[in-house]
Amino acid sequence: MAAFVKCPPARIGQRLEEVDTPSLVLDLDAFERNLAAMKRAVDGRKVRVRPHAKTHKSVDIARRQIADGAIGVCCQKVSEAEALAEGGIADLLVSNEVVGAPKLERLAALSKRVKLGVCVDNPENLRQLAALGCELDVYIEIEVGMGRCGIAAGEPAVALAREIARSTKLRFAGLQAYHGRAQHLRTMEERRSVIASAAEKVRQTKALLAKEGIACPIVTGAGSGTFMFEVDSGAWDEIQPGSYVFMDVDYGKNEWAAPLPRFEHALFVLATVMSRPKPEAAIVDAGLKASSVDSGMPGVWQRAGLTYAKASDEHGFVSVAAGERVALGEKLLLVPGHCDPTVNLYDQYVCVRGGKVEALWPVSARGALY
């Protein structure tokens, strides 16, 4: 039996309104302005940019980030790193712990192809990495407020660094200090305050490492909602923003002011109005399988009288304000509530400039969950 081949949702040169739906649409002009805004923000600073590819899962986007000065990219899973390595990305950090024989074996194989780093927060996991017999950059993840992975800052982290220093293959590359919860604290002052607290834990740990004579080459971390606070603190050498290339509804709720640039919405889900059951309602063909709602419902782009109110598997319910005109078959752009998991629902980006399809980029690491 012949394999089923999916039809692409668009062709190069098509007008946006001709694109099939639901589709993942990337506004290239806004995307490129976001890349430029990040470059301007860190220009002249002694900090490396290592964007997080878990947001976009795309070789094409990673290449453009590196062309704009990024040292490499982060991945959250080994399979994401494999997909990006296959596309020619040569400097990768798995900014996560890797546990389990199959994953560790693949990590070891990947280390022979690219410059590769990985995070650790547990002595047993460290011994598992050492047993692989391959050369790896190992970052100790310290807990700075995220409440997820990470060993306690200070002496517990230093004890782990001592073990790494005794290894003949593993290299202590530094600290991973990421405060993900800080990214969506709404006010600038809230975010500034928690990053200041995280910076103290970084400094405490670095001071103890120095006392032991253990060099700490890099402190890496930070996200799109806080990265300039990490830069200004002087405690981080490398930042890992991800969502800045796209933005989403949840990030749009944050307060944005200097020193953080305000990034633009560049990622959308294109949907079609498939039913008008009553004047106050429009049903679109983009539901739970088209846009992640873990951080809230999508927004309807530049249509103040329309509100995406709820979703089922294949349908989205849009509330229509009195006097607002919405036609059957009309195309609507939706801003995802959360960009990262929305991207993972699609095979490709429909890249649009000036209302026309310019390119189709594969979501290279779609479904790379292991």
Q: Same structural domain for residues 302 and 341?
A: yes
Indicate whether 252 belongs to any domain: no
Q: Is residue 316 part of a domain?
A: yes
Residues 201 and 298 in one domain: no
Final residue of a domain: which of 213, 245, 277? Answer: 245
Task: Give which of 75, 131, 137 is closest to 105, Cα–Cα.
Answer: 131
Domain count, the chain: 2
pLDDT value of position 58: 98
pTM higher than the cut 0.85:
yes
Answer whether residue 82 is part of any domain: yes
**Are 145 and 236 found together in one domain?**
yes
Would you tell me the crossing angle of helices 101-111 and 78-86 to the nearest 10 degrees? 30
Q: Where among 217, 245, 273 does a domain terminate?
A: 245
Q: What is the span of the domain harbouring residue 58?
A: 45-245
Distance CA 117, CA 140 (A): 11
Query: Is residue 83 located within the same domain as residue 232?
Result: yes
Residue with tokens 């889900």: 269
The CATH number assigned to the domain holding 338 equals: 2.40.37.20
Contact 136, 111 (CB under 8 A): yes
Q: Are residues 341 and 293 in the same domain?
A: yes
Residue 121 is assigned to a structural domain of this protein: yes
> Over the stretch 73-129, which tens digit does the pLDDT of each residue have?
999 999 999 999 999 999 999 999 999 999 999 999 999 999 999 999 999 999 999
Q: Do 49 and 121 have their domain in common? A: yes
Listed residue (96, 290, 116, 118) closest to 180, CA to CA: 96
Q: Which of 6, 52, 120 is nearest to 343 (CA)?
A: 52
Whether residues 272 and 233 fall in one domain: no
Look up the CATH number of the domain holding residue 195: 3.20.20.10
Q: Are residues 218 and 80 in the same domain?
A: yes
pLDDT exceeds cutoff 70 at 140: yes
- Same-domain status, 337 and 224: no
282 and 235 share one domain: no
- Mean pLDDT within 22-34: 98
What the block records as the tokens of 127 is 């011994």
| pLDDT (0 to 100) of residue 1 | 62
Task: Answer yes or no: do 184 and 292 share one domain.
Answer: no
Q: Alpha carbon of 72 to those of 61, 65, 348: distances in Å? A: 12, 8, 22
Q: Which residue, of 245, 280, 312, is where some domain finishes?
A: 245
Asked if residue 11 is part of any domain, the answer here is no
Residues 149-201 have pLDDT tens digits of 999 999 999 999 999 999 999 999 999 999 999 999 999 999 999 999 999 99
Residue with tokens 């979501």: 363
The answer to whether residues 220 and 346 belong to one domain is: no
C-alpha closest to that of 252 among 2, 32, 244: 244
Q: Is residue 288 a part of any domain in this protein?
A: yes
Q: Is residue 158 part of a domain?
A: yes
Residue 150, classed as helix, strand or coil, is coil
Q: Is 320:279 a contact under the CB 8 Å cutoff?
A: yes
Question: How far is the C-alpha of 94 from the C-alpha of 78, rounded, in Å?
Answer: 7
**pLDDT tens digits, 35-83:** 999 999 999 999 999 999 999 999 999 999 999 999 999 999 999 999 9
Whether 2 is covered by a domain: the verdict is no
